[in-house]
Structure 1
Amino acid sequence: MPSPLPLALSDTIVALSTPSGAGAIAVIRLSGPDAIPIADAVFAGRRLRDQATHTLHFGTIRDGDQILDEVVVSLFRGPNSYTREDVVEISCHGSRYIVQQLLALLVRRGARLAEAGEFTKRAFLHGAFDLTQAEAVADLIASDSALSHRVAMQQMRGGFAQELRNLRARLVQFAALLELELDFGEEDVEFADRTGLVKLLQEVQTLVQRLLRSFELGNVIKNGVTTVIAGKPNAGKSTLLNALLNEDRAIVSAIAGTTRDMIEDEVTIDDIRFRFVDTAGLRDTTDVVESIGVERTKQRVQQAAFVLYLFDLTSTSPAEVQAEIEALEVPRHVPVLAIGNKLDVASDDEIAAFQRLPNTVLIAASRGDGLDELREILLQRVRGEGLDQIGSSTIVTNLRHARSLETTQAALHAVLAGLSHGTGTELLAADLRHALAALGEITGEISSDDLLTSIFTQFCIGK
């Protein structure tokens, strides 16, 4: 006799799967052992329990004698459904009132409202896909560029998971031999070839390092490039922001200190999403509000992925620009691009003083001169050679995955160090188990309820 389902999976859940608010249609999704009986109890049309899977049926939803709406019902019988359970989707008119009435009716008939991400969580628990693929579903929904869409699709189709499984499988064989040695510890035998293990660990380390290096690129693709525009008052920062966004997002004024807080907005340049941050002008001031803005500018620079330091070509020397950039204390790993503004009114000598300097671009933000060159340099700096990997190599985009890979790397390093120092088999086996556990956490082969809750509560309710 099969064991009963866990309490949560024995429930039938319901939720709105389309965005809330008025629209042409809305889709309400039911999933669970009683999805079809509950839908049958309120649907006036063909009896759903007698219909084949993957079929559509027109009819009405009734609450007693009252007709709530004319609907189309989609029927998916498990395991051939998204959740691997019986699923019924009700496509109704997108009135908020109708949606609320239908949800309330279905709950009264025995369903319960789904938790965030519970449909995808059930698909994972039923073995439809692993945890990396489940997380890729959320990434796919959130994708807002061709690149983020491509990476999410690759992960959802199992490319990353397969690479991890291959890594794990190579380590499991040696781990099993080490465990076998522990069983025969009194006989002082070695089943695992130490030379072969070192070679394998070095190869796996190389692969893990490549995956970790890809996270920097993956994070850019998924979350965008936070680009801080810094500089003195009246350098033209707000004008540059408006020009890059192609809209009047920030107030432009000849009065120094107009921008007292940060203004942020996003724009996609050739499939790369940039989040530009216009900041308060950097200067010593007695104005309390402005001084807070200056301090926030310095803090934001520490969090940036890219810094654009804007200066006025007509009133600044190369030495002053260098000193001002150094005063910002930009983190070493963050690239800084100096941008000379007001090219249209600068003299030939002023322009010549900066043309020979590296990492410097000259523009006229108010007219758009030099902006194409600036965009191209931004793209080149962000891309490097990394974007060529997309489609041919796995790219890590998830911070959780990166942290687990770091744990794996540290554990493998400990095994290699132990082998070189003649550490006992018991400690080697423990470190190798640690590495395997970290890899298993990524795909969900090893998971905790807290981990699953943390992941799936980030989903929308109807997914």
Structure 2
Amino acid sequence: MIPNDTIVALATPSGSGAIAVIRLSGPEALYIAGQMFRSVSGKSIEKQRTHTVHLGHIVDGDRDIDEVLVTVFKNPNSYTGEDVLEISCHGSLYIQQEIIQLALRHGCRMANAGEFTLRAFLNGKLDLSQAEAVADLISSDNEASHQIAMQQMRGGFSNEIAKLREELLNFASLIELELDFAEEDVEFADRQQFKALTERISFVLKRLIDSFAVGNVIKNGIPVAIVGEPNVGKSTLLNALLNEERAIVSDIAGTTRDTIEDEIAIGGIGFRFIDTAGIRDTKDVVESIGIKKTFEKIEQAQVVIYLFDSTAFKAKGSKFKVELEKIKNKYPQKPLIVLANKVDKIDARELSTLKSQIPEVMGLSAKTGFGVEQLTQALLNLINTGALRNNETIVTNTRHYDALLKAFEEIKKVQYGLDTELSGDLLAIDIRQALYHFGEITGEITNDDLLGNIFANFCIGK
């Protein structure tokens, strides 16, 4: 059901600033604005053309609240498809609240989370996957997640799904037509062409499903645990990667007693580095808790960096190798990068000996920055960003991923039915289910609970 009331909300972040934007949307938006706004030109705001900006004052009776700019967007050429009005006022919290309270007194209702975008969806301005991309775009904090959200918001993902659904729907219509003439034993749908279509749909669905592994990483960032003995330079490495003094560094073993996390973008991809407490036997209760958390963070991380002190390799090399094997055996599926820190303090012969015993090791000096660039490249190499570079559709939304899996399963059933010459009525059941799951993605198939769950995660004002 499309709402018919007028809503208002602050569209910019809460708090004081140079300016704030207050948004109204609904059938009475222009009328309500006319009761509040006095243009310096004396013109009625209700009679102004769409996509125009007007200088004037927000007034409450004889009282001036603020000098503002009002932008008019008339239906259907607006974000929501309704009449929309945006008031750009000064960023005082007092002014913001006064204007919103005035709009409420004139008949507006406070917007719910994501209600402007919900109205855009209900009015056909966006499909559901595009609407969800709006939230992803707002929350994007690196180049890659921004690129994916923009591609989805422009309809790249929707168009791909819509095309598959349309072709499948055409064949479904022919199958359904056959059922109407069942007694005459006619075949309207060419089974060979239908097989070719299901193979192509299956291929595209598989590619989209596989892209979720990369998409989820890009959207949420890649957690990287930095582990090793105390005082080997984990905190110094974190500071070198972040290019700031984020972690406390000292010569005292066990300085880091809790995990420290921070995120940076490397090559447009977000990496969340976790500096953990050093792994060692200790009687210090607080440090022991930190070490326990270290293993918890390794469990949560997608990549593990094992760091050791190259100057101590001669004395502790066998111990380092044992620890390294423990991590490899316990977490065989996790990519592992092995770093020898403080290589600026050893000679070429010692470095050569070290590399002969641990072939995969990378030399590093976290203090001078040597090897940091090589490390960042190694991290990027762990991610297959080919699809991103080629501007292919990448799935980042768990709801879409689930619907694609279900659609893929139904298409496999259709393929099996075609191979075993299943009757048209049974084929039609599986085709309808596949179409249903396609429709779930773009919003042709939806319900109030689903919409409530999706738009509840939006910010107020969007």
**Band the TM-score falls in, shorter-chain normalisation:** over 0.9
Question: Are 1:381 and 2:375 matched, yes or no?
Answer: no
Q: Which residue of 2 aligns with 1:19?
A: 13
* 1:53-64 equivalence runs, <5 A: 53-64=50-61
Q: Which residue of 2 aligns with 1:44?
A: 38
Q: SS where residue 431 of structure 2 aligns?
A: helix
Question: Are 1:132 and 2:129 matched, yes or no?
Answer: yes
Q: Distance in 1 between matches of 2:169 and 2:286?
A: 60
Alignment counterpart, residue 25 of structure 2, candidates 24, 28, 31: 31
Q: Which residue of 1 aligns with 2:340?
A: 340
Provide the alpha-carbon RMSD of the alignment. Answer: 2.1
- How has the CA–CA distance of structure 1 residues 178 and 326 changed in structure 2, closer, same or farther, with 3 Å as cutoff? farther
Q: Distance in 2 between matches of 1:197 and 1:242?
A: 58
Contact in 1 for aligned 2:30/2:85 (Cα 8 Å): yes
Contact in 1 for aligned 2:276/2:294 (Cα 8 Å): yes
Q: Distance in 1 between matches of 2:131 and 2:50?
A: 24
Amino acid in structure 2 at the alignment position of 1:215: F
Q: Distance in 2 between matches of 1:136 and 1:130?
A: 10
1:310-329 CA-partner distances (Å, limit 9, x unpaired): 11223346664453234235
Segment of structure 1 superposing worse, 339-348 or 203-212? 339-348
Amino acid in structure 2 at the alignment position of 1:195: Q
Please give the TM-score of this superposition, normalised by the length of structure 2: 0.92
1:165-222 CA-partner distances (Å, limit 9, x unpaired): 1111121122223333444445555443333333221211111111122222222332
Alignment counterpart, residue 269 of structure 1, candidates 266, 269, 292: 266
Gap runs ≥5 in structure 1: 1-5
- Residue 386 of structure 1, CA deviation: 4.1
Q: Distance in 1 between matches of 2:387 and 2:318?
A: 34
Q: Distance in 1 between matches of 2:402 and 2:245?
A: 40
Q: Distance in 1 between matches of 2:259 and 2:242?
A: 15
Q: Distance in 1 between matches of 2:166 and 2:360?
A: 46
Contact in 1 for aligned 2:388/2:394 (Cα 8 Å): no
- How has the CA–CA distance of structure 1 residues 332 and 450 changed in structure 2, closer, same or farther, with 3 Å as cutoff? farther
Alignment counterpart, residue 10 of structure 1, candidates 4, 18, 32: 4
- How has the CA–CA distance of structure 1 residues 63 and 321 changed in structure 2, closer, same or farther, with 3 Å as cutoff? same
Q: SS where residue 284 of structure 1 aligns?
A: coil
- Residue 227 of structure 1, CA deviation: 1.3
Q: SS where residue 10 of structure 1 aligns?
A: coil
- How has the CA–CA distance of structure 1 residues 338 and 98 changed in structure 2, closer, same or farther, with 3 Å as cutoff? same
Q: SS where residue 141 of structure 2 aligns?
A: coil
Amino acid in structure 1 at the alignment position of 2:176: E
Q: Distance in 2 between matches of 1:30 and 1:272?
A: 36
Contact in 2 for aligned 1:318/1:353 (Cα 8 Å): no
Amino acid in structure 1 at the alignment position of 2:252: I
- Residue 87 of structure 1, CA deviation: 0.9
- Residue 358 of structure 1, CA deviation: 4.4
Amino acid in structure 1 at the alignment position of 2:222: V
Q: Distance in 1 between matches of 2:174 and 2:359?
A: 56
- Residue 413 of structure 1, CA deviation: 1.9
Q: Distance in 2 between matches of 1:184 and 1:287?
A: 82
Segment of structure 1 superposing worse, 364-373 or 285-294? 285-294
Gap runs ≥5 in structure 2: none
Q: Distance in 2 between matches of 1:442 and 1:311?
A: 48
Please give the TM-score of this superposition, normalised by the length of structure 1: 0.92
- Residue 361 of structure 1, CA deviation: 0.9
- How has the CA–CA distance of structure 1 residues 63 and 384 changed in structure 2, closer, same or farther, with 3 Å as cutoff? closer
* 1:88-237 equivalence runs, <5 A: 88-185=85-182, 189-237=186-234
Q: Distance in 2 between matches of 1:271 and 1:191?
A: 51
1:57-111 CA-partner distances (Å, limit 9, x unpaired): 2221111221111111111110111111011111111100010111111101100
Q: Distance in 1 between matches of 2:252 and 2:420?
A: 68
Q: Which residue of 2 aligns with 1:397?
A: 396
